[in-house]
Amino acid sequence: MPEPSPTPVRRGRLLRFGGAVVVLLALAGYLTVQYLTGGTGAPRCKVVSGKGDGASYEFTPEQAVNAAAISAVGTSRGMPERAVTIALATALQESGLRNIEHGDRDSLGLFQQRPSQGWGTTKQIMDPTYAAGVFYEHLAKVPGYSRLPLTVAAQRVQRSGYPQAYAKHEPDATLLAAALTGRAAATLTCEGRPDATPVGGADSVRAALVRDFGREVLQEAGADVSADGASASPSAAASASASPSPAGGGGRTVTVPVRKEATSGTGVRQRGWELAHWAVANSSALHIERVSYAGREWTAGSTDSEWRTSEAQGGSAARESAAEVRIVTGQ
């Protein structure tokens, strides 16, 4: 004898239960996306593979600033690209590349480091350059870290309760590291829409460069800031870069001559693309409108935000364009 069909009341309960499950799953998916993207809406930055294999990763301007800082701190310390990849994958897992003020117990910041475990003070850990630096210090002490599986190397530093979790971020971290260390040219772009902060202008760009790369990025390279983009002598530029220009006197263009990076052994062009990609990653935060390097140019607000070829240049002009990165701000 067939079983009686569910009563209308029972069917109603089942439908309500099913609807509640769907809502909870949708909410969980939404929260996951917000966590991984930084919670600031649709991603507005993108990195693509330099190998032409179609691989790509999209992320938010907030994540871009933090990723650029992590990479810059690493290369400035002479760490190889593999170390930068490990650091980026770790930060993606621990915080979604966001500098968060909470976590498990007293964990904080990009790498969820704990003051109680000797990682530094709360203020230090919430400084991305400090947090990245202390991560690299610990990573450098791991024997053969560059030859270890990424998740093993990261776990030796982090001592996480989920040691296998870092592995899933390796493809995205690899793309970011290739671009931000400059090895993969013209592969990182952002829409560059200015954020709500009032920070901007050439002096802010110089301060951020020093913050992430150290004072040598301006002093030794002889970076100059001028209203029309003209370069000053290296000695004058070094003096100017040591202290900000008076308000309103910094101009809109930062011209950074590119030289071989002595610490990491990076060649001139790779160093140039490292600086150029750093500028694009910081475009929203620092209100950067245009970045030019090696005959290519990125412009904020363009439809596809791609690196476009600049006007045709002769041999000497082309060599000159590879010897400097020009960053034009909106104020």
196 & 320 share domain? yes
Q: What CATH number should be reported for the domain holding residue 100?
A: 1.10.530
Q: What is the pLDDT of residue 102?
A: 84
Which of 260, 244, 186 is CA-nearest to residue 211?
244
**pLDDT at residue 301, rounded to an integer:** 86
Regarding whether 145 and 264 lie in a shared domain, the answer is no
pLDDT profile of the chain (331 residues), mean per 10: 52 55 48 43 85 95 97 97 98 97 87 94 97 98 98 95 93 98 97 80 95 84 45 36 38 87 76 97 95 95 79 54 91 70
Statement to judge: residues 229 and 163 lie in one domain: no
Query: What is the reported pLDDT for 196?
Result: 75
Q: Which domain holds residue 132?
A: 45-181
Are residues 271 and 319 located together in one domain of the fold?
Answer: yes
pTM score, whole prediction: 0.79
Contact 291, 229 (CB under 8 A): no
- What is the model's pLDDT at position 262? 58
Residue 3 in domain: no
Burial call 293-324: b when 16+ CB within 10 Å, e when fewer: bbbbbbbbeeeebebeeeeeeeeeeeeebebb
Quote the number of domains for the chain. Answer: 2
40 within a domain of the structure (yes/no): no
pLDDT of residue 153: 97
